[in-house]
Structure 1
Amino acid sequence: MSTMIIIPILVVLALIILFSGIFIVKQQTSVVLERFGKFLGTRSSGLHFKIPIIDQIAGRINLKVQQLDVLVETKTKDDVFVKLKISVQFQVIKTNVYDAFYKLESPHDQITSYVFDVVRAEVPKMKLDDVFERKDDIAIAVKRELNQAMQDYGYDIIKTLVTDIDPDAQVKSAMNRINAAEREKVAAEYVAEAERIKIVAKARAEAESKRLQGQGIADQRREIARGLEESVDVLNNVGINSQEASALIVVTQHYDTLQSIGEQTNSNLILLPNSPQAGSDMLNNMIASFTASNQIGEAMKAQNSLTMNPPKKKNKDNPPGSDDSI
C-alpha cells in the first residue's frame, strides 16, 4: 500500500525537477545563469535547459533600447535658474551582458549622476539665450561623458536629447514682454513705412497733377495767344490798326467775362467796371505796365554790366607808355 503511494509522489517530483530544468528566454532578452552562485553563462532568446537545483537563473537583462528622463535644475551665466529635461536613450551591449549585470547595481542612478554632473558643468558657462541656441552642444557633451563612463559597464549610449528648457516663471514673463515689445516695434516700423509710402505716392501724384495742370494752362495760353494773333491779323486786313484791334479784343473779352459771371447762379457778388471806357483803360494800363517793365529791365541790365565790367582808372603819376602802367 505504501509503495503504491510513494511511486506517484516520486513521479510527480521527477516531473517537477525535469520541468524546472527547462526555461524560455524572450526576444531581446538575455538570461544570466549561475551554478552554485558562480557565473555560468548567458542565454539568448529561445528554449533552453539547465540542471535542476544546481543551475539557477540569476537574472534577466533587457536588451531593448531604453530611455531615462532626467530633470536637472541649474543656473546660467547671467544668474537665471533654469530646469533642463535630458532624455538619455541607452542599450545593453549584447557581448557585455556580464559587465552590465555584475558591475553595475543601478544603471539609472549612475546615468542620472553623470547627467547632473555634465549639465551643471556646461550650462553655467552659457547665458540663457545661448542655452536655447546651443542645446545640441549640451546634449553632445552629455553623450560624450556618458559613453566614456558607461561602456565600461556594458552600456551603450544611443542618443541624448535636451527635450525641455524651462526658465524661472518671472524670467519667462520678462522674456515674453521683451518679445511682445520687439514685435510691437517691428509692427510700428511697418506701419510708419506704409504711411511714408502713401505720403510719397500722394506727393508724386500731386506733383504729376500740378505738372499736367501747368502744361494744360501753358497750352491754353498758347492757344489764346495764337487766337489773339489771328484776330489781330483779321482786323488789320479790314483796315483796323494793331492798337485799335487790341482795344476791340480787350473790350470784347471784358463783356464776355461779365456775361459768364452773370450766368453763374451760385457765384458770390463781384463788382467790376462795366462802362465801355473800362476796356480801353485796362488796355492802356497794360501797355503802360509793359513799357515800365521794359524800362526797368533795361536799367537793371545796364547796372549789371557796369558792375561786372567797371571802367579802368587812369594813373596821373605814370603817363601812358611808361613801365609802371603796364
Structure 2
Amino acid sequence: MNIALLIILVLGFFILLSSFFTVRQQTSVIIERFGKFHSVRQSGLHLKIPLIDRVAGRVNLKIQQLDVIIETKTKDNVFVKLKVSVQFMVIKDTVYDAFYKLEYAHDQITSYVFDVVRAEVPKLKLDDVFERKDDIAIAVKSELNEAMTTYGYTIINTLVTDIDPDIQVKNAMNRINAADREKTVAEFEAEASRIRIVAKAKAEAESKRLQGQGIADQRREIARGLVESVDVLNRVGINSQEASALIVVTQHYDTLQAIGADTNSNLILLPNSPQAGSEMLNNMVASFSASNQVGEMMKKTSRKQAKKEAREIQPAKEEDPEEEI
C-alpha cells in the first residue's frame, strides 16, 4: 500500500512539473489542445494542462539572414553568379500564420529570390549589373514583402553582396582596364614629352637670338675699332688701303697665335712662312689699288654718260616752244 502511494506521489510530482514551462526572450510557443491550436505564449513562465495541452512548436522572433547564390545570364550573354542576402523575421502578431501556413520558409524565400533575379538580370548588361545592383535588391525586397507578408513574415532588407562573373570574363575585364590605364599613361607621357620639346625649342630659339645679338654687337664693335685704327694710321701718313691691309695682316697673326696657344690643336695653316705675311700684305695693297682704279674709271664713265644724255635732252627742250607756236 505504501509503495502504491509512493508511486502515485512520484507520478503526480512529475505531472505537476510538466504543467509548467518557460518561453525564452524573442520566442513564441504554440500550444495545442487535443491536436488543435489553442494559444500562442510569449516569453516567461506558463502553465498548461498536463496530458491535454502540448507545446506544438517554438517560433523564433529574431531577425534571420538567408544567403542565396543564383547563377544567371546577362543581356550581353555573360554568365554571372549573384549572392543575395535576405534579412527577414516573423511578425509577432502573426505567429499563427508563420507556423501553420508555411512549413519551409527558407525554401520559399529562395524560390522568390531566384524568380526575381532571373527576371531582372537578363535585362541588363554586365556593367549595368554592377552599377544597378541596388535596383536589383529593391526589386527582390518588394517581391518578397508582397509574398511573405501573407505567411506572417516581414522582409527587413535585401542586399546583393557579391557579383562574380565567369573567370574568363573577369580576366578580359582586367585586360581592358589595364589597356585603358596604359593608354592614359601614354597620353600623359606624350603630353610631357611635347612640353619638354616645346620648352627646349623655345630655349634654343632664345639662345640663337641672344647669340645672334651677341655676334652683331661683336661685329659692330670690331667695325668701330677698325674705323678708329684706320683714323690713327691715317694721322701718321699711312693711306686707307695700306692701313686696311696692315690690320688684316695683324689679325692674321693674332689668329695664328690663338691657334698655337691650344696644345691639343692639330690644325696646320699653309703657307705659314715669314715671306707669306709679306706677300699677303703686298697682294692686298695691290688689290686695294686696283679696285680703287676700277672705281675711278667707272665714276668717269658714269659722268661722261650723264653729260652726253644731258646734251641730247637740251636741244629737244629748246625745239618744243617753236613747234607749239
Q: TM-score, normalised by structure 2?
A: 0.80
Q: Is the 8 A contact 1:93 1:156 kept in 2?
A: yes
Cross-structure match for 2:50? 52
Alignment of 1:62-101 (within 5 A): 62-101=60-99
Cross-structure match for 1:104? 102
Q: 5+ unaligned residues in a row in structure 1: which ranges?
A: 296-326
Picking from 274, 277, 283, the partner of 1:275 is: 277
| CA offsets 1:50-91 (integer angstroms, 9 cap, x no match) | 222222111111111111111111111111111111111111
- How far is the alpha carbon of 1:34 from its aligned partner? 1.9
Q: Is the 8 A contact 1:254 1:279 kept in 2?
A: no
Cross-structure match for 1:139? 137
Q: Is the 8 A contact 1:29 1:44 kept in 2?
A: yes
Q: 5+ unaligned residues in a row in structure 2: which ranges?
A: 299-325
Structure having the higher helix fraction is: 2
SS of equivalent residue, structure 1 residue 57: strand
Picking from 189, 192, 204, the partner of 1:191 is: 189
Which residue identity lines up with residue 214 of structure 1 in the other structure? G
Cross-structure match for 1:161? 159
Q: Is the 8 A contact 1:76 1:123 kept in 2?
A: yes
SS of equivalent residue, structure 2 residue 62: coil
If you compute each CA radius of gyration, which structure gives the higher value, 1 or 2? 2
- Give the fraction of aligned pairs with identical amino acids, expressed as a percent: 74
Structure 1's 52 and 237: CA in aligned 2 closer, same or farther, altered over 3 A?
Answer: farther
Q: TM-score, normalised by structure 1?
A: 0.79
Which residue identity lines up with residue 153 of structure 1 in the other structure? Y
Cross-structure match for 2:178? 180
Question: Structure 1: how far apart are the matches of 2:37 and 2:244?
Answer: 135
SS of equivalent residue, structure 1 residue 78: coil
| CA offsets 1:17-47 (integer angstroms, 9 cap, x no match) | 1111211111211112222222222222222
Question: Structure 2: how far apart are the matches of 1:116 and 1:179?
Answer: 31
SS of equivalent residue, structure 2 residue 69: strand
Question: Structure 1: how far apart are the matches of 2:61 and 2:281?
Answer: 118
Picking from 203, 214, 218, the partner of 1:205 is: 203
Structure 1's 279 and 18: CA in aligned 2 closer, same or farther, altered over 3 A?
Answer: farther
- How far is the alpha carbon of 1:239 from its aligned partner? 4.9
